[in-house]
Amino acid sequence: MEIAIMGAGLSGLACAITLKKNGITPTIFEKRSKVGDRFVNGEVLLDIFSRPVHDCIASLSDEYGIYLQPTSNIQRMELFSKNEQAIIEGHLGFTNVRGRERDSFESQLERQTKSTIHFNSQKTYEQLLSEYTHVVIATGDGAYAKETRNFREDFSVSIQGATVEGSFDRYTVMAWVDYDLSPYGYCFLIPYSEKEACISLAIPDLPKNADLNIRDLWKLFYQKVRSQLKQELPITDQFQITHYPIGICLKPRIGNTFYIGNCFGTMMPFMGFGQYTSILSGVYAAYDLCGMGNYEELMAPLRQSYEDSLVLRRAMEQISNEGLDRIIRSLHGYWGEKLFQTKTINPLKVASYLMRPFLKMKKGVTS
């Protein structure tokens, strides 16, 4: 068995690590010059989105032998709508760095990888398929899956972000769901440390957002954060992503080709994160290749999480700022902490179940 992995991101490296632990040495092909050769940004692993798992970092370590050190654990989340604020406290998850940083998740995984990585690779999927018995596609987006007619694109999103300097509580994450700032989208502030943070704005590319200019929205958001934190927040690095496709594979495996990571569809439509799911997809593909499980069956719960998240995304597109105010108001205090700290239910699944009748009603009204 000769296995090629296209892409040295989270899922590709997790797949390679797991294969090696089980006696198979894959070869990795990466088109960039090094692992993490992309913009720097902050991301989060929120426990509320990974149920029934309550600690993603411990789960990866204890169950899968993948060891990651986040930049911090999240002890406080501040949520803002146009006119309301909610504060949630407790152990909520973790923050981490992605991209061109020594301690980014990609770099940490590379240090655990024992397989050969060919950088600046020009190898195509078709070439690898002719040279190897199995190909694992981990290219970071759905492009190859779309080319092979194996990808359902649900929408796309445009994102603008920056690294800023200031004074931050590294245990606190801030999020805005205010449609004056990001129509039908969201904004985040994720600290890297006490002195640096990532701020980002994401908007779905919906027809009703067609006339919006993300740069104008970014200026409003940047000024809002500076005013709210009462800091200048000078920008030291910036990034922008335009029309990034969000969707999911029709089949996680076709023949001897495995689709993992964002090529499978691990980015959650609701709030945009999916690192834990991405890593798991790489592990599960390796399990199948090692005869330890069936990839399609292992991915079934992750596929369902994507579909549940998509329901919440569609619900967000139907809610006004006034509706968001009511939601944020209800999350402040007991009920918010109860929702985020619960260990007996899956909040994503429950919220999706409750929103489905609402979406059907809306469709009935508009049709």
* pLDDT tens column, 177-234: 999 999 999 999 999 999 999 999 999 999 999 999 999 999 999 999 999 999 999 9
Q: Is the pLDDT of residue 363 over 60?
A: no
pLDDT at 122 over 80: yes
Tell me if 52 is assigned to some domain: yes
- The answer to whether residue 171 is domain-embedded is yes
Residue by residue, DSSP assigns 124-175 as -HHHHHHHSSEEEE--SSSHHHHHTT-EEEEEEEEEEEEEEES---TTEEEE
Domain-embedded: residue 365: no
- Single out the residue of 77, 58, 78, 81 nearest to residue 68, CA to CA: 58
What is the pLDDT, as a whole number, of residue 366? Answer: 38
Domain of 117, CATH number, reads 3.50.50.60
Instruction: Tell me if 187 sits within 8 A of 176, measured CB to CB.
Output: yes
| Cis ω for the linkage preceding 52 (within 30 of 0) | yes
Residues 324, 202: Cα–Cα separation, whole Å: 17
367 belongs to a structural domain: no
DSSP SS3 for 176: strand
Residue 241: predicted pLDDT: 94
Q: Report yes or no on 193 lying in a domain.
A: yes
Could you tell me if residue 366 is inside a domain?
no
pLDDT at position 49 is: 80
Q: Which residues, 6 or more positions from 1, have their beta carbon under 8 angstroms from its beta carbon?
A: 24, 133, 134, 289
Between 275-289 and 56-64, two packed helices, what is the crossing angle to 10 degrees? 10
Q: What is the count of structural domains for the chain?
A: 1
Helical H runs in 261-346? Answer: 275-289, 295-316, 321-331, 334-341
Question: For residue 129, what are the contacts with CB-CB under 8 A and spacing of at least 6?
Answer: 135, 256, 257
pLDDT band of residue 367 (cuts 50, 70, 90) is very low
pLDDT at 143: 87
Average pLDDT, stretch 170-177?
97
- Decide if pLDDT at 347 tops 80: no
> What pLDDT was estimated at residue 271?
85
Q: Is the pLDDT of residue 364 over 70?
A: no
CA dihedral 225, 227, 229, 233 (to 10 degrees): 70
Span 48-69, average pLDDT? 92
| Structural domain that includes position 144 | 3-355
In a domain? residue 274: yes
318 domain-assigned = yes
